[in-house]
A and B are shown apart, each in its own frame.
Chain A
Amino acid sequence: MATNAAQKLTRKDFVSDQDVRWCPGCGDYSILAQVQKIMPEIGVSRENTVFISGIGCSSRFPYYMNTYGFHTIHGRAPASATGLKVSRPDLSVWVVTGDGDGLSIGGNHLLHALRRNVDLKILLFNNRIYGLTKGQYSPTSELGKVTKSTPAGSADHPVNPLLFALGVDASFIARTIDVEAKHQQDILTRAANHRGAAFVEILQNCNVFNDGAFASLTDRELKSDTQLLLENGKPMIFGKNKDRGIRLRGMSPEVVTLGNGITADDLLVHDENDPVLGFMLSRLAQPAFPMPLGVIRATNKVTFDAAMNSQIQDAMAKSGDGDIDKLLRSGDVWTVQ
């Protein structure tokens, strides 16, 4: 941080010398570009930044960042990132994972990293398919998904990443989408500035094995009706003419059209600090509802790494820096003449 404060870094400073090997047209390219773009803005240096990944297409990410990086094993990136962040709280540690890596084989580690509130920035690229192993369904694939491994359609119900994160009380939960560069940058910057585990689901198109998975969200004609862009403290309005909104009827949300006595005052107002609202928003799905994008939840709680380090500092303050000879001679000792 201190070293490079004088000279302003640019996006290029975060581009490594390695060739990017994702398929042409992959949504990952845009995510890489946005991450590299916001890096100079969030005030960390290259040397103090570490990207850690598991296995999968998304997990190649660290090789392309000109920072420190660790490409670990399938699903386990949150565990390695936790060990690193706890022992090196001075570093900015990012985890890059996918729907298979983070929610199938690594679901357990993701759960614990989020509930412990380790100060990690966790980017989950959700393309609802297994890319690297060439096209099997993933835990976020829709029910009945026909793939190479499920010719008769998948029989399992998908996991909703946002609900998962809410369920373990993550302190920062957001959703964005690969093609919306500006929105992505805003959300990534928010995540970077959050103190604690920041979970960002990035909807990402796999143009080889699951092309068009989010087509209705990205189609220029449709997207203003299918995206619900959340802003804290603002009523939930969407639609090409900004004339539609989300209203609460009893305990259930409904889509209403403004006019005919319905005004913005009748609509739900987004509150990032309200977990109940977070649950409701996370469940909104097409076609009945627009897809919420933005920060679903942001709240403050003590981070795991800070708590662990303060325990060590307290112990040192109380007992002094440990002395090995004293440790060896602790307990019942006796002298033989």
Chain B
Amino acid sequence: MATSPVGVLPPKPVVERDNVVIRFAGDSGDGMQVTGMQFTNESVFAGNEIGTLPDFPAEIRAPTGTLYGVSAFQVNFSSQSVYTPGDDLDALVVMNPAALKTNLADLKQNGLLILDKAEFNEPNLKKAQYAKSPLDDGSLDKYQLYPVEITKMTTLALKDMNLPNRSVMRCRNFFALGVVSWLYNRPIEPTVKWITERFKKNTEVLEANTLALKAGYNLGENTELFASSYDIKPAKIAPGLYRNITGNTATAIGFVAAAKKAGLPLFLGSYPITPASDVLHDLSTLKNFNVYTFQAEDEIAGIGSALGAAFGGSIAITTTSGPGMNLKAETIGLAAVVELPLIITNIQRSGPSTGMPTKPEQSDLLQALYGRHGEAPLPVIAASSPADCFFAAYEAVRIAVKYMTPVILLTDGYLANASEPWLLPSSADLPEVNVEFRTDPQGFFPYLRDEDTLARPWVRPGTPGLEHRVGGLEKDYLTGNISYAPSNHEQMVRVRYRKMAKITQDIPPTKINGPESGKLLIIGWGSTYGSITAAVKGFQEQGKSVSHIHLRHLNPLPADLGDILSRFEKILVPEMNMGQLLRVLRAEYLVDAVGLNKIQGRPFKVSEITARISRMLEE
């Protein structure tokens, strides 16, 4: 703990809270992502359950102080179970007027508002389009306002170091973190350790940031700025080894783990695109796992190269986001008819077109299911939380090689960047990924299918006696030679559908959270998992009949799904789109399910789902 002059002030009262949601917001150059991540680390060390949500602009360095240059990081930390980054804010820390303007609406009435007073000057107010300062017009009266002199105090704290102003300004975020760390009784050692590690090659920055952090902490401790501090007791967390992980990192290592389990090289062909690029970055550092990462010339070459690698016998991956899926569509169709394993990862973002690249959406489900010309059904798998991306990626590989098919893996920009503590699995506990290349020329045909899976054989070029040709033209049911025979084409289309249906044998019975039948069933998929779980939990604690299932497999759908749907009076499908799963469920099962749809580039708030559930229970 930071040293403080003991006995200067009497100890301040500590107020206990179960749960706090805080957001750090500032200019994109203010280091808010680092601040949020370090606050998260501190909370992890304090033993809380956490959920995080980074929110940054698409502009890399937007003009300072502008509304569109605001970057934010939200942390939900609790002594209870946490499923989401939290709804409305208990506390908001803003580094400038623009950050106040863009974030204030989410702050609860009477919430804590900490702001850097010096930044509320004429030019900054103007850039944030404030006619007059919100500090003076009474508009902040409904909050607990703490105008802290973050800039001035940081400057004072670093005065002896004689740093240029620019360098001093870069330490403001650590001063703010220090203040908030004191306020919520967070240990600052993890942050000191991080700073020491991060800036070990630049001792001046190391020292300045550490000083700023401690000065901020001491400000809380030693001044009458805050009347009390808050404590959030450790949560009851399952014992074991944990790591904080983002969805993109979990996706990357899920692929590596699966390839390693299969004993094959991993090949990623990808073109940089927000929010998918981090998977490429992560995998490019794992070459000693026999990982090839190829930054292709475009999205098409990204998937094309991966398909070439799949033909060669590698575990082949391509990663992208919405617009890239359109470009990859033709090659996905080719992969479907040559029946090679290939994972197409779509880290969905708000569309259409360039849309809102840094904001999540679930609006590519129908594209994943149907977005190809011709009859080209494919397995579609979705991840439900940041850590779950690991298992979803792993499962995608397992299905792809078992059934010899491309698989579409859906995550989204929220899962990609959000993080959660992850109780680490052991590689020994992961399911097998069995790959047996065909080597026997006896009785070989390129499209001779396995009876159980309908998979065709996977042959590595280099295998003598099995030389064969595949391609996009329709092929004979057995020999794979080009065939335009009418009945053969229908047979091939049907067998590709039957193969998808076979995959249901790999889908475990659907887990129902709540009663097996009853009044209301909530069905979700993807990143809505946390919000739905939290909302449903609230009703279940009140003894209400509300159940929740969350689909990992979107195609094929679980075999027991139709039966489950028939056991509920009402079905609600919350989605961050206009009702895409809803449409599928209504079409497949003729059920009168209804949708709850949010298309704002933001995850659902728990309260939004809760409100809808309440209405449906009352109706």
Q: Which residues of A contact B (CB under 8 A)?
A: 3-4, 16, 18, 45-48, 50, 52-53, 55, 62-63, 65-73, 76, 78-88, 90-91, 108-109, 111-112, 308, 311-312, 314-316, 318-322, 324-325, 327-337
* A308, B292: Cβ atoms closer than 8 Å: yes
Q: Which residue of A lies closest to B260 (CB)?
A: A324
Q: How close is B560's CB to chain A, nearest CB, in angstroms?
A: 32
* B292, A312: Cβ atoms closer than 8 Å: yes
Q: How close is A149's CB to chain B, nearest CB, in angstroms?
A: 22
Within 8 A of A (CB), among B285-326: 286-292, 294, 296-298, 300-301, 304-309, 311-314, 316
Tell me if B473 counts as interface (CB < 8 A to partner A). Answer: yes
Task: Tell which of B269, B334, B469 touches A83, judged by Cβ atoms closer than 8 Å.
Answer: B269
What are the interface flags for B242-273 relative to A under an 8 Å C-beta threshold, 1 for contact and 0 otherwise?
Answer: 11110000000100110011000101010000
What are the interface flags for B225-256 relative to A under an 8 Å C-beta threshold, 1 for contact and 0 otherwise?
Answer: 00000000000011111111100000001001
* B290, A108: Cβ atoms closer than 8 Å: no
- Residues on A with beta carbons closer than 8 Å to the beta carbon of B309: 83-84, 86-88
- Residues on B with beta carbons closer than 8 Å to the beta carbon of A88: 309, 312-314, 461-462
Tell me if B468 counts as interface (CB < 8 A to partner A). Answer: yes
Task: Tell which of A71, A82, A322 touches B473, judged by Cβ atoms closer than 8 Å.
Answer: A71
Task: Tell which of A45, A86, A327 touches B253, judged by Cβ atoms closer than 8 Å.
Answer: A327
* B292, A86: Cβ atoms closer than 8 Å: yes
- Residues on A with beta carbons closer than 8 Å to the beta carbon of B45: 334
- Residues on A with beta carbons closer than 8 Å to the beta carbon of B265: 87
* A68, B308: Cβ atoms closer than 8 Å: no
Q: How close is B430's CB to chain A, nearest CB, in angstroms?
A: 8
Question: Which 9 pairs, one residue from A and one from B, show the smallest C-beta to C-beta distance?
Answer: A71-B471, A83-B305, A79-B304, A322-B289, A83-B308, A80-B308, A69-B469, A315-B287, A79-B301
* B469, A70: Cβ atoms closer than 8 Å: yes
Contacts A71-B471, A86-B309 known; 7 new A-B pairs at CB < 8 A:
A45-B464, A76-B301, A85-B308, A87-B308, A109-B304, A314-B287, A329-B243
* B290, A322: Cβ atoms closer than 8 Å: yes
- Residues on B with beta carbons closer than 8 Å to the beta carbon of A316: 287-288, 290
Task: Tell which of B243, B305, B314, B481 touches A79, judged by Cβ atoms closer than 8 Å.
Answer: B305
What are 18 A-B pairs with beta-carbon distances under 8 A?
A: A45-B464, A47-B461, A68-B467, A68-B468, A72-B334, A79-B297, A82-B301, A83-B294, A83-B305, A87-B265, A112-B297, A308-B294, A321-B288, A327-B286, A328-B253, A329-B243, A334-B44, A336-B239
CA of A331 to CA of B296, assembled, Å: 29
* A71, B470: Cβ atoms closer than 8 Å: yes
CA of A173 to CA of B482, assembled, Å: 33
* B314, A87: Cβ atoms closer than 8 Å: yes
- Residues on B with beta carbons closer than 8 Å to the beta carbon of A3: 464
Q: Specify which of A46, A86, A328, A333 lies most central, judged by the most chain B CB atoms within 10 Å of its CB.
A: A328
- Residues on A with beta carbons closer than 8 Å to the beta carbon of B463: 47
Within 8 A of A (CB), among B55-97: none
